[in-house]
Chain A
Amino acid sequence: SQQGEEDPQALSIQEGENATMNCSYKTSINNLQWYRQNSGRGLVHLILIRSNEREKHSGRLRVTLDTSKKSSSLLITASRAADTASYFCATDASWNNNDMRFGAGTRLTVKP
């Protein structure tokens, strides 16, 4: 079974709008990461947030983590057409931090 589940499955917005994607997971974690995948390509790491952190920023990305709700959100501000991609969260369980599990992803489309 997958550790992370993203919501929504698909999101379509206009350029300049903000995009918010959510990730829920099932067990206690050490870290949560977000990755981007452009169509037909490998995944690219975006940001990592540790279990003792609540919020983290990187450029136009903002990630929050709520360990009490076992959930995280990824906010992309002022979206661009180039942000069109699938976004995945990945978690490593606290009982085995070598086993990194991914969710099914959110497909983001940014219309110019």
Chain B
Amino acid sequence: NAGVTQTPKFQVLKTGQSMTLQCAQDMNHEYMSWYRQDPGMGLRLIHYSVGAGITDQGEVPNGYNVSRSTTEDFPLRLLSAAPSQTSVYFCASGKRDAFFGQGTRLTVV
């Protein structure tokens, strides 16, 4: 009964470093997505996937990569972290009645 598991909860990166945010779901949802949430901006869609092997860009995809090798996992990769990527990141599973992870608070210094 885990729902959506998102790790890590907190992360500090130096500019130029790379990292992967993990997201796993156990509800057998085909659709998964990644959002970033900034103060006063609401949530903005980064990438989404409609099934294993299929990904597409959202509103703010630059600087991020995703892959979907299995139905369960949808990792988000920051290729070369920049201070502008300081944000709270949410993974979601499902489209109608989406389930959200608890978020990753990322700081890039």
* Chain B: interface size category: 20 to 34
* Nearest CB in chain B: distance from A28 CB, A: 17
In the complex, the chain B residue whose C-beta lies closest to that of A104 is: B42
In the complex, the chain A residue whose C-beta lies closest to that of B99 is: A45
Question: Would you call B96 and A48 a contact (CB within 8 A)?
Answer: yes
Q: Mark A28-66, 1 if CB is under 8 A from B, else 0.
A: 000101010000111111001000000000000000000
User: Which of B43-51, B67-75, B79-87 has 4 or more CB atoms under 8 Å from chain A?
Assistant: B43-51
Question: Would you call B43 and A102 a contact (CB within 8 A)?
Answer: yes
- Chain B residue contacts of A44, Cβ below 8 A: 100
* Chain A: interface size category: 20 to 34
Q: In the complex, A103 Cα to B59 Cα: how many Å?
A: 13
In the complex, the chain B residue whose C-beta lies closest to that of A2 is: B42
* Nearest CB in chain B: distance from A99 CB, A: 6
In the complex, the chain A residue whose C-beta lies closest to that of B31 is: A98
- Chain A residue contacts of B43, Cβ below 8 A: 43, 88, 90, 102
B19 within 8 A of A: no
Question: Would you call A42 and B101 a contact (CB within 8 A)?
Answer: yes
Q: Mark B25-54, 1 if CB is under 8 A from A, else 0.
A: 000000101010000111111001010000
Q: In the complex, A83 Cα to B43 Cα: how many Å?
A: 20
Question: Would you call A99 and B48 a contact (CB within 8 A)?
Answer: yes
Q: Mark B71-109, 1 if CB is under 8 A from A, else 0.
A: 000000000000000000010100111111111000000
Would you list 6 pairs from A and B whose C-beta atoms are within 8 A, ordered by A residue? A42-B102, A43-B100, A88-B43, A98-B56, A102-B42, A104-B40
Using A33-B96, A43-B92, A97-B95 as known contacts, list a sample of 7 further A-B pairs with CB atoms less than 8 Å apart, ordered by residue number in A: A4-B42, A48-B96, A98-B95, A100-B45, A100-B95, A101-B45, A104-B42
